[in-house]
Structure 1
Amino acid sequence: MSTTTIRLEDEMKSRLNAAAAQVGKTAHAFILEALAQKVEQVEQDNAFHALAEERWARIRATGKTVAWDDAKAYLTARAKGDRARKPSAKV
């Protein structure tokens, strides 16, 4: 395990200590949890963007898309808890 040093303004350190105390954690545990959450979010964002790029490339290559009305009907049914058939992509 390695060590990283961060420098905090006094006000931020006070806020950090207060926030950590409010949730029953040490400042160290609070910082580790915050870092883990931020890293996870960045990883999820990157995966989302990669998937979007992949799908956009497929649309450009095939010209196939799902009509908005079909997509809206499908999503509305799913939001209501109904089982719905996925609409198919068409040129």
Structure 2
Amino acid sequence: MSTTTLKLSDDLKERIAIAAADAGKTPHAFMVEALAAQTALAERRRAFVDAAMTAEQEVAEYGLVYDADAVFSYLHDTLAGKRAKRPKAVKL
């Protein structure tokens, strides 16, 4: 492991100490956990944006989309155990 130094305002340092104590953690553990959570969030956001960009490219290339109402009806009926007609892709 490597060491990283963070410069925190006195106010933030105090808030972290209080929040960490309330959570039964050391300020260090609290900050490491917070950094890990924010990093995971940023990674999920990046993956979401990448998937959206890929989908946009596929639609631009192939022009096939599904009607949202048809998809929701299909899912609703399928989850209710009903026989459901699978939606068809349509060209834009």
TM-score by length of 2: 0.84
The match for 2:28 is: 28
SS at match of 1:4: coil
Please state how far the C-alpha of 1:25 moved relative to its aligned partner: 0.2
User: In structure 2, how many angstroms separate the alpha carbons of the residues matched to 1:62 and 1:22?
Assistant: 54
Distance 1:16 1:85, change over 3 A: farther
User: In structure 2, how many angstroms separate the alpha carbons of the residues matched to 1:6 and 1:37?
Assistant: 17
The match for 2:39 is: 39
- Pairwise CA RMSD of aligned residues? 2.0
The match for 2:88 is: 88
User: In structure 2, how many angstroms separate the alpha carbons of the residues matched to 1:10 and 1:85?
Assistant: 61
Question: Structure 1 stretches (4+) deviating beyond 4 angstroms?
Answer: 83-86
The match for 1:71 is: 71
TM-score by length of 1: 0.85
Task: Structure 1: give runs of 5+ residues left out of the alignment.
Answer: none
Structure richer in strand, relative to its length: 2
Task: Structure 2: give runs of 5+ residues left out of the alignment.
Answer: none
